[in-house]
Amino acid sequence: MLCLKKALLRCKTCGAEYDAGTARFRCDCGEPLDLVWDGAAIDTNERCQARRYAAFFPFDASEWTSLGEGGTPCVSIARFADELGLKEVAFKNESANPTWSFKDRGTAACIAHARALGYTKVGTVSSGNMAASVAAYAAAAGMEAFILVKGNVADEKLAPIAIYGAHLLRVAGPYDELYKESLRLGAERGIYYANSDVPFRAAGSRTIAFEIAEDRGFDVPDWVIVPTSAGGNIRGIINGFEDLLRAGLTKRMPRFMCAQARNNSPIVTAFANGWTQIRRAPDAETIAHAIDNPFPPSGNRTVAELRRLNGAAVSVPEEDIIRAQADMARAGLFAQPASCVPLGALRIARASGIVKEGESAVLVTTGGGLKYTTAFAAHKLEWRDCAIADLPDILK
């Protein structure tokens, strides 16, 4: 069994603390939990998250089940900086992970935690990226996986999950009830549900912050913009920058922007209205399918974090998401629609003055464009059929 060092899980909302060595996924108050662990050292001889940042986790590096998650590129694109009058616009391209989304970081941390607690079964509730990620890491770790997806997920989205050999269930019913039922049943049946905002998934997301800082020589950007669904990823990234600051590796915090699709933006709505409690959003369709969570389990905490750290929350209309996807692809980055919401949000925030001239921004590109091919229909894509003999006339 993998050895877990003594660490705590803390609720930032009510202050309660729990031993990280127990199977505990949320606070008794209902809010999410964060890993408390003081270790901080970077092994610069290693490229992959599990070994490079092992000191930030209460496990031994040699004990991780890793598929080589992390170490993704942060790509600065001058044309967007020029367009917006900014010093820099860079994209942290999380599609360069083993299952082509940021989820692999948190999954790797959850699998390590599950193994440390003696679990042999894992699962998740997801409509795509996280399902594939948990299925892949469970396969790598030799664990049995029980993946639950929403009832409205199309058949074509299931094959890329099933290929990893997991038990795959498409479950009719409200998504947030499914989330809660999975944690309840998991506790009863010995299945570790590595859901979207559980403590070790958020802890894995911290490594996005570590890499952004490292790639910039520990000079943090003015803004970090995160497409936000459950809220686990943005929580983790915030915690990561706080860990760096506490360890003396950085001198200040960036500001954080939560980016959501306007059709499904409960966190943006709560932030704008000064609410402390998320209200369920209408479950409207959005092309940013990967972040259409109408009642996010880390919503309250995300709103609180944004207020505490002078952040922002911006929602993006469908047509701006589609335009951002086209513009990013035409700069060489083909991302899934949800991952293009940050560029749309940055444009809106710049126009409204939230982001100031000359500032720098890093946008988290959470997953690759091949993840959601339905989005091609939103673009006017063209090609032409011809014969070899026609080429001299065509290529001019």
Show contacts with a second copy in window 288-307 (CB under 8 A). Answer: none
88-93 and 74-76 beta bridge pairing:
antiparallel
Touching a second copy, residues 54-113 (CB under 8 A): 66-69, 71-75, 77, 79, 93, 95-100
Q: Which is nearer to a second copy, 275 or 334 (CB)?
A: 334
Question: Which of 22, 44, 273, 277 is close enough to bind a second copy by CB under 8 A?
Answer: 44
Could you give the string, one character per residue 318-357, with x where binding to a second copy holds by CB under 8 A and - elsewhere?
Answer: --------x--xxxxxx-----------------------
Shortest distance (Å) from residue 338 CB to a second copy: 16
Could you give the dihedral angle defined by the CA atoms of residues 88, 92, 96 and 100, in that order, rounded to the nearest 10 degrees? -130
Instruction: Check binding of 140 to a second copy (CB under 8 A).
Output: yes
Touching a second copy, residues 164-223 (CB under 8 A): 164-165, 168-174, 177-178, 181-182, 185, 189, 191, 215
Question: Which of 62, 154, 273, 382 is close enough to bind a second copy by CB under 8 A?
Answer: 382
Cα–Cα distance, 87 to 78 (Å, whole number): 9
Angle at alpha carbon of residue 130, lines to 117 and 285, rounded to 5°: 140
Q: Which is nearer to a second copy, 83 or 215 (CB)?
A: 215
Q: Which is nearer to a second copy, 176 or 242 (CB)?
A: 176
Instruction: Check binding of 148 to a second copy (CB under 8 A).
Output: yes
- Given the rule CB under 8 A, which of 200-208, 251-259, 352-360, 363-371 is the region that contacts a second copy? 363-371
Question: Token pair for residue 368?
Answer: 């690759």
Cα–Cα distance, 20 to 10 (Å, whole number): 9
Map tokens 């060595």 to a residue.
21
- Side chain identity at residue 207, one-letter code: T
Instruction: Check binding of 154 to a second copy (CB under 8 A).
Output: no
Sheet order of strands, 144-150 included? 144-150, 121-125, 191-193
Map tokens 């892949």 to a residue.
136
Number of residues that bind a second copy (CB under 8 A): 85
Q: Is 332 left (phi over 0), alpha (psi -120 to 50) or beta?
A: left
Instruction: Check binding of 253 to a second copy (CB under 8 A).
Output: no
Instruction: Check binding of 395 to a second copy (CB under 8 A).
Output: yes
Instruction: Check binding of 282 to a second copy (CB under 8 A).
Output: no
Q: Which residues are CB-neighbours of 364 under 8 A, at least 6 positions away?
A: 92, 94, 102, 208, 224, 225, 226, 227, 233, 237, 339, 342
Output DSSP code: residue 367: B
